[in-house]
Amino acid sequence: MLEVCPLSELPRGAARRVDVEPPIAVFHTDEGEVFAIDDTCSHQDASLADGWLEGCEVECPLHASRFDLRTGAVDAPPAKLPVRTHAVTVEDGMIRVELSADKPNLPPDIRARLGAGARA
């Protein structure tokens, strides 16, 4: 379990990027729920924690694809693939995240930077 921060440090409507590899984004919605998804948009290198949070969706700050915080699903192009979701628990006022073991859908530019270069 990854300890993120006390719930009191993440107000409703706010998001926090956590620098694990790959980074994740933790959202506290206006309705009071807490969700965690991969922080990097599956289309291009943009931080979803910088995106626009509305209900249970976050809009990518670069190209406006929206991701559902509950499922990771994307609603419209340019992103084509979902992001991973991570299980969140809030106990004793502390936000903890269980990182997904699934393979992340990282964008091509990030894959290249991580060394899995595209140039074959």
Partner 1 sequence: MKHIAIVGASLAGLSAARALRAQGFEGKLTVVGDEARRPYDRPPLSKEFLAGDMTEADLALEADDDELDATWLFGSAATRLDTSTGAIELADGTRVDADAVVLATGSRARRWPGCEELAGVHVIRTIDDALALRADLQPGARLVVIGAGFIGAEVASTARKLGLDVTVVEAAPTPLAGPLGEQLGAIVARAHAANGTTLVCGVGVAGLTGVDRVTGVDLTDGRHLPADAVVVGIGGVPNIDWLRGSGLELGNGVVCGAGGETTVANVVAVGDCSAWYDDSTGAAHRVEHWTGALERPAIAVATLLAGGLHQGTVAKAPYFWSDQYGSRIQFAGIARPGDEITIEDGDCDTRCFLATYRREGRLVAVLGVDQARLFTRWRRQLAAAPSTV
13 binds partner 1 (CB under 8 A): no
- 8 A C-beta contact, residue 117 and residue 35: no
Omega cis (within 30) before 6? no
* Min separation Cβ 55 and partner 1, Å: 15
Q: Does 112 bind partner 1 (CB under 8 A)?
A: yes
Q: Which is nearer to partner 1, 81 or 94 (CB)?
A: 81
**Quick check: 114 binds partner 1 (CB under 8 A)?**
no
If the CB atoms of residues 6 and 117 are measured against partner 1, the closer one turns out to be 117
What is the SS3 assignment for 113? Answer: helix
For the chain, the first-to-last Cα distance in angstroms comes to 37
Contact 16, 23 (CB under 8 A): no
Give the footprint of partner 1 on residues 31-60 (CB under 8 A): 46-47, 49-52, 59
Binder among 1, 80, 89, 102 for partner 1 (CB under 8 A): 80
Residue 47 contacts residue 39 (beta carbons within 8 Å): yes
- Given a contact cutoff of 8 angstroms between Cβ atoms, the answer to whether 86 and 104 are in contact is no
Binding site for partner 1 (CB under 8 A): 46-47, 49-52, 59, 61-64, 77-78, 80, 108-109, 112-113, 117-120
